[in-house]
Amino acid sequence: MRIHPETQMSAKDLPSYLKECDHHPSQREINNALLGATKKDFNKPNLMLKEREVSEIVFMIYVPRGTGLEAKNVRKSTWLNPLVDGEEARKMMGNDEVKNVELSKSLQLVFNSMQERKEQEIYKERIRKREEEKKRLELEEQEKERKEQEKKLIAGVGNGEKKEDESGEKVNSGEKE
């Protein structure tokens, strides 16, 4: 659908014009693009747009492929304007292919998701506790070995055995010189 270059269209008709072109942006996207492209106040009651301005607004919302920008980096999916694989979910509204879903199925899906998340947290907590227990046991074992070595060292010194000091020299630990 094209408007004549010299004619103008009302800003109020922009959503229906875009819908006719199989585009379904949110009103907020339209308002932001209108403000960015034309610097005009979208709250004015009788705001008229030229074809050039309408094209600029459309290109701000739907970035042309020739720009090299990816649509997923330009438009973000939100609760009010969901995007599915880069396509607007609003296109499906009112479509016969979209089936009504019972609320119980949706609630069950949410419940299962929450339960799965909670189970994952419990599993991670168990793993963390096992790792802490393993570290604690390793430290206790190291401490036990250190104490046994000290006992052997003390027992060896008491028997008059020659031991090596830190420098590697033989030292007579039990006898007086």
Phi, psi of 37, rounded to the nearest 5 degrees: -85, -35
Last residue of a domain, one of 37, 67, 92: 92
Residue scoring higher pLDDT (4 or 6): 6
Please indicate whether residue 38 or residue 3 has the higher confidence score (pLDDT). Answer: 38
* Least confident interval from 2-6, 30-34, 124-128: 2-6
Segment 15-20 mean pLDDT: 88
Give me the pLDDT at residue 25, please: 85
Residue 111 lies in a domain: yes
How confident is the model at residue 43, as a pLDDT?
80
Range of the domain at 82: 8-92
Phi first, then psi: give them for residue 85, nearest 5 degrees. Answer: 55, 40
Across residues 69-80, what is the average pLDDT?
70
Same-domain pairing of 109 and 85: no
Question: Is the domain of 86 the same as that of 117?
Answer: no
Choose the final residue of a domain: 92, 117, 137: 92
**Predicted confidence band of residue 125 (pLDDT cuts 50, 70, 90):** very high
Give how far Cα 73 sits from Cα of 82, 83, 85, 172, Å. Answer: 14, 12, 12, 78
In a domain, 2, yes or no: no
Burial class (CB in 10 A: 0-12, 13-18, 19+), 176: exposed
Res 149: pLDDT = 92
**Residue 25 and residue 18: Cα distance in Å, rounded?**
8
128-158 residue pLDDT tens: 999 999 999 999 999 999 999 999 888 877 6
Confidence of residue 177 (pLDDT cuts 50, 70, 90): very low
pLDDT at 87 over 70: yes
Q: What pLDDT score was predicted for residue 89?
A: 74
Q: Which of 92, 122, 140 is the last residue of a domain?
A: 92
Mean pLDDT, the chain, rounded, equals 80
- Whether this model's pTM surpasses 0.75: no
